[in-house]
Amino acid sequence: MRRVLTGNPAAPGMALGRVRLEQPARFSIDNTPLPDAEVEAEVARLEGAFTLAREDMAELRRKLHGALAREVGEFIDAHAQLLDDPELIASLRAMIRKGHYRASAALKAQRDRLVAVFDDMDDPYLRSRGEDVGHVIARVQSALARQTSSEEKKLATRVGEILVTESVAPGELAHLSSHGILAVVAGSGSSYSHSAILARSLHLPMLVNVERVLEDLRDGDLALVDGVRGEVVVHPAAQDLAQYRTWQRDSLREGQRLAQLAGAETYTRDGHKLRLFANAERPEDIERARGLGVAGIGLYRTEFLFLAHDGLPSEDDQFAAYRDVVLGAGGLPVTLRTLDLGADKADGSGLVMASEPNPALGVRGVRLSLRQLDVFVTQLRAILRASCYGPVRILVPMVTDAAELVEVRRLVEACARDLRTAGHEIPDQFEIGAMVEVPAAALNVRALLEVADFLAIGSNDLTQYVLAADRNNDQLGTLYQPAHPAVLRLLAWVIGRARIARKPVCLCGEIAGDPTFAAVLIALGLEDFSMLPDRILAQRDALSRCDRGALRALAPRLLRAPDHATIVKLLEGAQSGK
């Protein structure tokens, strides 16, 4: 029977395929008793998970350098000892064999029991050891879930399927798309998450926050995903299929129309020249961007190199990757953003603190880099070496204070000196810019402009921090509003101050490539936009319909608007010439 489930659109496009359900093993603990026949296999699964967890710890130990290794190393060693505790393993085995517990349920029960024992202790030091037990067991739980999900992932790689899952991490997404998945439907998530950004860059239609999707769909159901309307039609009827065919035809025609804009310059209707740059996270994006005619690469997210890499990429690995990006850009400027790990970009690297109470407000971006100097210096050296192959700008994420940028510049200069001494040809000048994505950096932008060569506004993060609404929290979907008057006022302020200081300012958050934001950004005075290559033609088209003169004249009223609805009304009036 035909049914429609609704969610939030996260990446556009339509897809027709069979459903592949991925049950969230990591979120559910199965408490049903284990049948006799499965007991020994479950013990083996448990032991496998312990082995994986030990390997994780060893890997983490290997990756730590310098002061951090001394600080964190002690904890790792304590955790590793717990993992080797024969009593812990023996009691878990007994729970599976005698109590017919499943491995994850045994781990949970054991954790609860041990934490309660530690909680009752008087000595605060011993009490705090309870936390370690919790962390170690969580690590084994996650290894257990990984064992399960990697099997599921293998199944999920059948071509022509729609992945239906609770949530998907950015790292998983790249893997899935290269294995023939047509679309992703997630029970939770937000359209501003890094997974959603990546899905758009991979042309993978994606819906998030689809209620009860795991309960309502069955493996093998035929489904039509509509990434624009935010709908999944299960068992589509003839009229749905007709709609799908119409969409295929229309998107082909629209593609052909827009293709004529490839390579063109971008002008507003009244002849004001704008510059469109590309956001890129994979070398393929560069090639595509060049074909579309861009002014350069406005944001290269280097963290994806780290997320995709097994262990930390070495200086030479990074140098080769950045050099290829610079060469691929064929003389256009490339803005390489230094590592922005932390918050939701944490998987796989082993660098990010596992248990920060509030990761989005924690050690991410430049904060992490300045604490992990070995890793940061390795990256800076690789970037500087790559800068011999074409114009490179260095962009620093999550800057809060001008002092952070000063410190980065000092490190860059020291790296350049060392490299020159070692015989490398390093350019004399480097452009170092700051991402403006922390409200303090935006409000205090005059100080930042004293020390930065250019600015890039990260409206994705700026929005979440201004509105105190996590960009990944689907519960807050309606609150996360990049066109909120408070956000627009900050954008106008930053753009205005940069123009006065005669320093380039680009906007590289998702709204830069969203045609529905074209008019408002022109009104605020923006001239440099950086977006996913896929967005360039449609945005060039939308920008070319804007009357900059009329929109700039509207700016004071826009900035006084009390709410989003008023802003929309004002813009509609300006666009229709009223």
Residues forming the active site: 194, 508
Least gap, CB of 343 to ligand PEP (angstroms): 8
Structure tokens at 104: 């994850």
Q: Considering only residues 332 through 361, tell me which ones interact with ligand PEP, judged by CB under 6 A.
A: 340
Question: Is-contact 469 480, C-beta < 8 A?
Answer: yes
Stretch that binds ligand PEP, among 214-222, 286-294, 456-464, 486-494 (CB under 6 A): 456-464
Interacting partner of 459 out of Mg ion, ligand PEP, none (Cβ under 5 to 8 A depending on kind): ligand PEP
Write the single-letter amino acid at 177: S
DSSP per position, 41-66: HHHHHHHHHHHHHHHHHHHHHHH--H
Compare residues 172 and 340 and give the one whose CB is closer to ligand PEP. Answer: 340
Q: And the tokens for 233?
A: 């039609």
Q: How far is the CB of 413 from ligand PEP (least distance, A)?
A: 26
∠ CA 508-195-283, rounded to 5°: 60
Backbone angles phi, psi at 429, to 5 degrees: -115, 145
Choose, by CB under 6 A, the member of 42, 404, 461, 474 that binds ligand PEP.
Answer: 461
Instruction: Rank residues 196 and 312 by Cβ distance to ligand PEP and give the closer one.
Output: 196
**Binding-site member from 17, 205, 359, 509 for ligand PEP (CB under 6 A):** 509
Return the residue of 7, 342, 433, 458 that touches Mg ion, per CB under 5 A. Answer: 458
Long-range contacts for 130-136 (Cβ within 8 Å, ≥24 apart)?
132/75, 132/78, 132/79, 132/82, 133/82, 135/79, 135/354, 135/355, 136/53, 136/79, 136/82, 136/83
Report CA-CA distances (Å) from 499 to 458, 465, 503, 504, 522: 17, 24, 6, 7, 14
Instruction: Output the smallest distance, CB 206 to ligand PEP, in A.
Output: 16
Amino acid in the structure at residue 113: R
Exposure letters 35-45 (e unless 16+ CB within 10 A, then b): eeeebeebbeb
Q: Which residue has the tokens 């934490």?
A: 115
Q: Does 461 bind Mg ion (CB under 5 A)?
A: yes
C-alpha closest to that of 234 among 242, 222, 246: 222
CB of 538 to ligand PEP, least distance (A): 19
Sole window of 214-222, 241-249, 408-416, 452-460 interacting with ligand PEP (rule: CB under 6 A): 452-460
| Residue 435 and residue 396 in contact, taking contact as beta carbons nearer than 8 Å | yes
Tokens of 561: 């608007």
- The residue among 296 and 458 lying less far from Mg ion, judged by its C-beta, is 458
List 162, 508, 532, 546, residue binding ligand PEP (CB under 6 A): 508
CB 395, min distance to Mg ion, A: 11
* Candidate segments 41-49, 153-161, 457-465, 484-492, binder of ligand PEP by CB under 6 A: 457-465
Residue 14 binding target from Mg ion, ligand PEP, none, CB below 5 to 8 Å by type: none
Residue span binding Mg ion (CB under 5 A) among the ranges 141-149, 285-293, 457-465, 551-559: 457-465
CB closer to Mg ion out of 8 and 460 = 460
Total Cβ atoms within 10 A of residue 512: 28
C-alpha–C-alpha distance, residues 531 and 527, integer Å: 13
Alpha helices of 396-512 — where are they, by DSSP H? 402-421, 439-443, 445-451, 459-467, 485-500
Which parts of 126-165 interact with ligand PEP (CB under 6 A)?
A: none
191, 459, 473, 539: residue in contact with ligand PEP (rule CB under 6 A):
459
Minimum distance, C-beta of residue 355 to ligand PEP, in the bound complex (Å): 21
Number of residues that bind Mg ion (CB under 5 A): 3
CB of 465 to ligand PEP, least distance (A): 9
Of the two residues 17 and 513, which places its CB atom closer to ligand PEP in the complex? Answer: 513
Place of tokens 């100097």: 373
Q: Binding to Mg ion by residue 510, rule CB under 5 A?
A: no
Cβ atoms of residues 20 and 225 within 8 Å: no
Three-class DSSP category at 280: strand
Closest CB to ligand PEP among residues 439, 509: 509
* Torsional class of 49: left (φ above 0), alpha (ψ -120 to 50), beta (otherwise): alpha
Answer for the pair 209, 189: CB distance below 8 angstroms, yes or no. Answer: yes
The smaller minimum CB distance to ligand PEP, of residues 301 and 385, is found at 301
Q: How far is the CB of 462 from Mg ion (least distance, A)?
A: 8
Residue with smaller CB distance to ligand PEP, 268 or 335: 335
Residue whose beta carbon is closest to ligand PEP = 458
Which region, judged by CB under 5 A, interacts with Mg ion, from 49-57, 80-88, 148-156, 454-462?
Answer: 454-462
Please count the residues of this chain forming the interface with ligand PEP, following the rule CB under 6 A: 10
Angle at 477 between CA 438 and CA 509, to 5 degrees: 40
Binding characters for Mg ion, 406-445, by CB under 5 A (x = yes): -------------------------------x--------
Which stretches of the chain bind ligand PEP, using CB under 6 A?
Answer: 299, 301, 340, 437, 458-461, 508-509
Which stretches of the chain bind Mg ion, using CB under 5 A?
Answer: 437, 458, 461
